Amino acid sequence: MEKTDKKVILSGIQPTGTFTLGNYIGAVKNWRQLQEDYNCIYMIANMHAITVRQEPAALRKNTMDAVALLLACGIDPDKSVLFVQSQNRCHAELNWVLSCSAQFGELSRMTQFKAKSEKHPDDINAGLFTYPVLMAGDILLYQSDLVPVGADQKQHLELTRDIAQRFNMKYGDTFKLPEPYIGEVGARIMSLQDPFSKMSKSDENVNATIFILEDKDTIIRKFKRAVTDSETCVRYAQGKDGINNLMTIYSCVTGKSYEDIEREFEGHGYGDFKLAVGEAVADHLQPVRDEFARISADKEYLKEVCRKGAELSERIARRTMSKVYRKVGFVEN
């Protein structure tokens, strides 16, 4: 995987249940192609997941399902580093060192901390407050050049750069400053019931979110119930947020431009369009569902993928940790 002529990209996803269509289009769908052009490091961020209470058995299952899902979506462990975060001790180690270079004030301004605190008022724990530092460590451990981020993650990448610059100024050149990698299409898929909100695993409205392992009938039924507007014309325009979201989804799974979609559905109502989007999404995801069923049944293969991924990721990360420990003055073993 380690080809020096290619830039390093790191990305992670939390094992909090089956990926949504938003996760897939906004991130995972693009990861398969990225591994052809970059040195890619893909992480199941289970350490981040426990900032919210998790049932241990469910977390273990969701973690292995996430590995199987990434493999089913085309991540090749011979081309990319695929690993489970908690299986690489360097992440916890660098988290502590960087916590001593992060400022309380900048962490208190993190918008996701405020949002999650409001959502989980009975469990506003220290990890929820400091997890952006863990995220910074995830990125900096691998001297990442690029990090795929959505609009809601830009603040965390900016914090990562601030922490890295502060550390470099104090201890000398140590960390590479990562840049954002933002895809032009499909970066933000919205709820089918509230097109002003991002599609979310935790949405209480079952019709708001598409999960990529759902069967075809369920997917089509949810799209038929998608919120649109009072017009009947399929076109991408300001004020047509529901239709704009459906057009974005349709474009991402078919490769058609908005202009192509407008021509295709000229003279058709929203009912025809929503049915077509549902069928296109379900058909696009069928190979993923089939491959997931095959891979998830092979428990030994999954364990071997995790073992090799943990070994390779730690070998890469340990180079950074050794440099960091020397810089801060820790006594070597």
Same domain, 249 and 104: no
Rounded to whole angstroms, the Cα distance separating 9 from 40 reads: 5
Residue 200 and residue 191: Cα distance in Å, rounded?
Answer: 7
User: Which residues are bridge partners to 44 per DSSP?
Assistant: 13, 84
154 and 75 fall within a common domain: yes
Please pick, among 201, 216, 224, 308, the residue that the annotation labels catalytic. 201
Please report which helix (H) or strand (E) contains residue 84, including its range.
strand 81-84
Interval 127-155: pLDDT, tens: 889 999 999 999 999 999 999 876 667 88
Residue 201 in any domain: the answer is no
Assess whether 12 and 100 both reside in one domain.
yes
- 274 as an active site residue: the answer is no
Tally of structural domains, the chain: 2
**pLDDT of res. 128:** 85
Dump pLDDT digits (tens) for 232-279. Answer: 899 999 999 999 999 999 999 999 999 999 999 999 999 999 999 999
Could you tell me the two tokens for 26?
Answer: 């906004």
Helices of type H across the chain: 21-23, 29-37, 46-49, 56-72, 90-99, 104-108, 111-119, 126-140, 154-171, 216-224, 241-254, 258-264, 270-296, 299-328
221 falls within a domain: yes
224 within domain boundaries: yes
**Residue 3: pLDDT over 60:** no
If asked whether residues 87 and 154 sit together in one domain, one would say yes
| Same domain assignment for residues 303 and 287 | no
Which of these is catalytic: 116, 222, 240, 274? 116
For residue 197, being part of any structural domain is answered with no
- Same domain for 224 and 118, yes or no, is no
User: Domain with 239 in it: what CATH number?
Assistant: 1.10.240.10
The enclosing domain of 168 has a CATH number of 3.40.50.620
pLDDT at 178: 96
| Structure confidence by residue, pLDDT tens digits, 184-227 | 545 589 999 999 999 998 899 999 999 999 999 999 999 999 99
Both 117 and 260 in a single domain?
no
Question: Catalytic pick from 6, 61, 79, 198?
Answer: 198
d(CA 225, CA 228): 9
Domain match, 29 and 50 both: yes
Q: Is 29 a known active-site residue?
A: no
What is the extent of the structural domain holding 44? 8-187+299-328
Q: What is residue 277's predicted lDDT score, i.e. its pLDDT?
A: 98
Query: Confidence class of residue 72 from pLDDT cuts 50, 70 and 90?
Result: very high
pLDDT in tens, 80-123: 999 999 999 999 999 999 999 999 999 988 887 777 777 778 88
205 is a domain residue: no
327 is catalytic: no
Co-location of 44 and 71 in the same domain: yes
pLDDT of residue 117: 77
> Is 319 among the domain residues?
yes
Quote the pLDDT of residue 166: 97
Residues 44 and 149 in one domain: yes
313 shares its domain with 169: yes
Model confidence at 2: pLDDT above 60: no
Note whether residue 258 is domain-resident.
Answer: yes
Same domain, 264 and 311: no
